[in-house]
A and B are shown apart, each in its own frame.
Chain A
């Protein structure tokens, strides 16, 4: 297969040997599972269970809310202990709403929807609905609801489905193991997705450093003419969706755009397997393969982990820490994030747990920029990291935005290559965070402006109505003139239909707006 070239990238020491030849092992069911309501991109799921309720394995615990969301299912049978705040697997360490499930040890399945016997006779919508019900999200780390991507057929013409098995991050071998051990399931999941999308071609892209996975996938894909396996060069960040699309098809995804706009949809191999389970057997996403590795651990493993397992239990399963861990990271060492606590649970997007020693993280004191340009050569998005970082250091966030800081994919190639150890990517993460804050602030102020304007108009109308009422009461004997009638109408309108925020404006007329019982109905605006 002809491959295209991409710019930038770095060559890393992959350190995958520790776990790449170890088979996937199941984790003994933990006594307690902590299932956050937001394990995906989009709106938080809404719990449909209460504390004390007994649930079966695979039962829905929380339903999806809105267009971009995903439900949460019970990974085992047991009793809901509580729904409470628990530390989230997020660098902030903020607490979030979490369902705590107490396992009963039986691990008994509840009633599942029957699988679709012949998915290739089903419509795209039917398959997408199944995938949505099963709570499948992107298992590569981004955790974007998979069904939303399958529904993109409506707006885009997708000709190629790209299955991402590049796994370019060091340490991680979970996708490698899934491809080796469940190649048939991955291939079937990919074919189901391609059918749902109407994509004529399926390409499974694997980095050359996984020869066994390439062989397994090629064997499984051989009967299907529409499928091809692409061996992509070993270079970080090959697994970035935009870059993989460029390598395989030569098409460049526009800035702020999706790969679907160039006719390609990218899914991770783990997602393909989860979709196979969801569509063929009606099984929801309740577990995932996680690579647990790093120099601070006694041993590394690829573990099939029930969602909601605490990171601490995974570390205990691997024999605990034998050295001081400088950082415990969720995801890969390049794009992952440090975990605030070992009490954080494994969620749908957790692809790895790495306990790295200080020697491995190798955090060095920052030196001055020597303008060597290594970061410019390494940047896969074609940015100029050294210039961006200088602007951000001086808080010129707008200037950085003009130079395209929003196109940064946070791959960390620049920080890795920098001989002065300048935390370049961290500057860009900060700048992009600030840009989001400013954007929210701008939207908020626009809303406030309309509210303030609505209030001004309402006060004017009330003043006019009062003046009219005064004029009317001053000459009670006189018959109502045409103009006085018109004014009375205005007053009635002002009282019945106040503009602006309906809840706030309704309170002017003394109506109950917050569910409170209101006994007096004085018009507050009409007081002396």
Chain B
């Protein structure tokens, strides 16, 4: 009886000591969760979530200080991945992806001050001092920081126009029965 108690106590104490030492000497310096979350985020440093960049947002997510839906450009797809990595359940059925936008510079108002240029994290704005600036549309991630810094209000955000290549069928509205011309059974079958 005493032997059993003694041996189990000794086992417990020694294993506890090993674990205690391991947590001290083998500690991981960077939170692996944080770097995993950072990989899931878009990484364009747009700051739309309210944090300075994706790194800070990942740190806040790892600490549980930010919701998984914080990333606007990532949309539902990123929110789902973050929730899965954090092991939490998030109800995303109501989550609407934000409409993609691009910045457009009004050429009549641009004074070539370079302020928007310095703000852009993806180098989507090109220009030179006192010269007209313009936006490389494919590189713009629609964060809107440039609109806030422009002294003349020359930069505005507008939705990305739909083209023949990007258009797709809308979700069918069942009650109205607005579907493609399928021939019903009554008439054909």
Residues of A within 8 A of B (CB): 11-13, 15, 38, 88, 90-92, 94, 96, 170, 327, 329, 333-334, 336-338, 356, 359-366, 392, 394-395, 398, 412, 415-417, 419, 421-423, 425-427, 429-430, 432-434, 436-438, 440-442, 444-445, 447-449, 451-456, 500-501, 503-505, 507, 510-514, 516-518, 520, 522, 524
Cα–Cα, bound, A522→B129 (Å): 8
Contacts of A512 in B (CB 8 A): 128
Tell me if B7 counts as interface (CB < 8 A to partner A). no
B180 and A337 contact, CB distance less than 8 A: yes
**Docked-complex contact A333 and B181, CB < 8 angstroms:** yes
A454–B174 contact, CB under 8 A? no
Report yes or no: A514 in contact with B127, Cβ–Cβ below 8 A: yes
Q: Which of B10-18, B28-36, B130-138 contacts A (4 or more CB under 8 A)?
A: B130-138
CB-CB under 8 A for A88 and B183, given A449-B42, A501-B123, A510-B128: no
Closest 8 CB pairs of A and B: A433-B168, A423-B179, A362-B184, A504-B123, A449-B43, A366-B174, A448-B44, A13-B188
Contact B187 A524 (CB under 8 A): no
B183's nearest neighbour on chain A, judged by CB, is A333
Residue in B42, B44, B93, B189 whose CB lies within 8 Å of A394: B93
CB-CB nearest in chain A for B182: A415
B177 touching A366 by the CB < 8 A rule?
Answer: yes
Q: A94-B164, A504-B139, A516-B131 are in contact. Are A416 and B185 (CB under 8 A)?
A: yes
Task: Find residues 141-173 in chain B having any chain A CB closer than 8 Å to their own CB.
Answer: 141, 162-164, 166-172
Q: Which residues on the B side are within 8 Å of A96 (C-beta)?
A: 164
Closest beta carbon of chain B to A260's beta carbon, Å:
25
The reply to whether B175 and A361 contact each other, CB–CB distance below 8 Å, is no
A residues in contact with B101, CB < 8 Å: none
Residues of A within 8 A of B179 (CB): 363, 415, 423, 425-426
Cα distance A344–B139 when bound, in Å?
34
* Beta-carbon contacts under 8 Å, B18-55 to A: 42-45
CB pair B44–A504 under 8 Å, yes or no, is no
Nearest chain B CB to A402 CB, angstrom units: 14
Neighbouring A residues of B44 by C-beta, 8 Å: 445, 448-449, 451-452
Measured in the bound complex, the distance between the Cα atoms of B135 and A503 in whole Å is: 11
Residues of A within 8 A of B93 (CB): 394-395
A-B contact pairs, 11 of them (CB 8 A): A94-B162, A359-B187, A362-B188, A364-B184, A423-B174, A426-B180, A430-B171, A448-B139, A500-B123, A501-B136, A504-B139
Q: Which residues of B contact A505 (CB under 8 A)?
A: 123
- CB-CB < 8 A to B187: which residues of A? 13, 359-362
| Chain A residues, Cβ within 8 Å of B180 | 337-338, 412, 415, 423, 425-426, 429
| Interface of chain B residues 46 through 75 with chain A (CB within 8 A) | 73-75
Q: Output the least CB separation between A509 and chain B (Å).
A: 9
Q: Does B89 touch A at the CB level, under 8 Å?
A: no
Known A-B contacts A451-B122, A504-B139; A364 and B177 likewise in contact (beta carbons under 8 Å)? yes
Cβ of A371 to closest chain B Cβ, rounded Å: 16
A106 → chain B closest CB, angstroms: 34
A residues less than 8 Å from B132 (CB atoms):
514, 516
B residues at A contact (CB < 8 Å): 42-45, 73-75, 77, 80, 93, 100, 114, 117-118, 121-132, 134, 136, 138-139, 141, 162-164, 166-172, 174-175, 177-189
CB pair B177–A524 under 8 Å, yes or no, is no
Known interface pairs A92-B164, A363-B177, A448-B141; A421-B128 also in contact (CB < 8 Å): no
**Is A38 touching B168 in the complex (CB atoms < 8 A)?**
no
Residues of B within 8 A of A455 (CB): 121-123
Bound together, the chains give a CA A433 to CA B168 distance in angstroms of 5
Cα distance A451–B45 in the bound complex, in angstroms: 10
Chain B residue numbers with a CB within 8 Å of A415 are 179-180, 182
Are A441 and B75 neighbours in the complex by a CB distance under 8 Å?
A: yes
How many angstroms from the CA of A518 to the CA of B114 in the assembled complex?
A: 14
Which chain A residue has the least Cβ–Cβ distance from B122? A451
With a CB–CB cut-off of 8 A, which chain B residues contact A361?
Answer: 181, 183-184, 187
Tell me if B183 and A362 are in contact (CB < 8 A): yes
CB of B189 within 8 A of CB of A520, answer no
- Asked whether, in the complex, the Cβ of B184 is within 8 Å of the Cβ of A363, the reply is yes
Cβ B74 vs Cβ A507 within 8 A: no
| Cα–Cα distance between A324 and B156 once the two chains are bound (Å) | 45
- CB < 8 Å neighbour of B136 from A356, A440, A503: A503
A422 surroundings in chain B (CB, below 8 A): 174
User: Which of B124, B175, B181 is most buried by chain A, counting CB atoms within 10 A of its CB?
Assistant: B181
Inter-subunit contact A170/B188 (CB<8 Å): yes
Say yes or no: A430 contacts B184, CB within 8 Å: no
A503 touches B183 (CB 8 A): no
Residues of A within 8 A of B122 (CB): 448, 451-452, 455
User: Which chain A positions have C-beta within 8 A of B166?
Assistant: 437, 440
| Assembled-state Cα–Cα distance A419/B174 (Å) | 14
A469 to B85, CA, bound (A): 46
Contact at A366–B181, with CB atoms within 8 Å? Answer: no
B125 to chain A, nearest CB (A): 7
- Of the candidates A334, A362, A365, the one having the most CB atoms from chain B within 10 angstroms of its own CB is A362
Knowing A422-B174, A445-B73, A452-B45 touch, does A12 contact B136 (C-beta < 8 A)? no
Q: Which of A170, A412, A427, A504 contacts B125 (CB 8 A)?
A: A504
Contact status of A12 and B188, CB under 8 A, knowing A361-B181, A441-B75, A448-B44? yes
Chain A residue contacts of B126, Cβ below 8 A = 503-504, 507, 513-514
Inter-chain CA distance A336–B183, complex, in Å, is 12
Report the separation of the CA atoms of residues A94 and B165 in the bound assembly, to the nearest whole angstrom: 11
A504–B108 Cα gap in the complex (Å)? Answer: 22
- Assembly CA distance A456 to B55 (angstroms): 13
Q: How far is it, in angstroms, between the C-alpha of A518 and the C-alpha of B77 when the chains are bound?
A: 43
Do residues B131 and A421 form an inter-chain contact, with CB atoms below 8 A? no
- Assess whether B189 is in contact with A13, with CB atoms less than 8 Å apart: yes
Minimum C-beta distance from B52 to chain A (A): 12
A468 to chain B, nearest CB (A): 21
CB distance from B181 to the nearest CB of A (A): 5
Q: Which A residues are CB-close (under 8 A) to B77?
A: 438, 441-442
Inter-chain CA distance A421–B183, complex, in Å, is 10
A416-B188, A514-B127, A522-B129 known; 6 new pairs, CB 8 Å cut-off, are A422-B174, A430-B171, A448-B122, A503-B126, A511-B128, A512-B128
Complex contacts, A416 vs chain B, CB 8 Å: 182-185, 188-189
Minimal Cβ-Cβ distance residue in A for B132: A516
Q: How far is the CB of A433 from chain B (nearest CB, A)?
A: 2
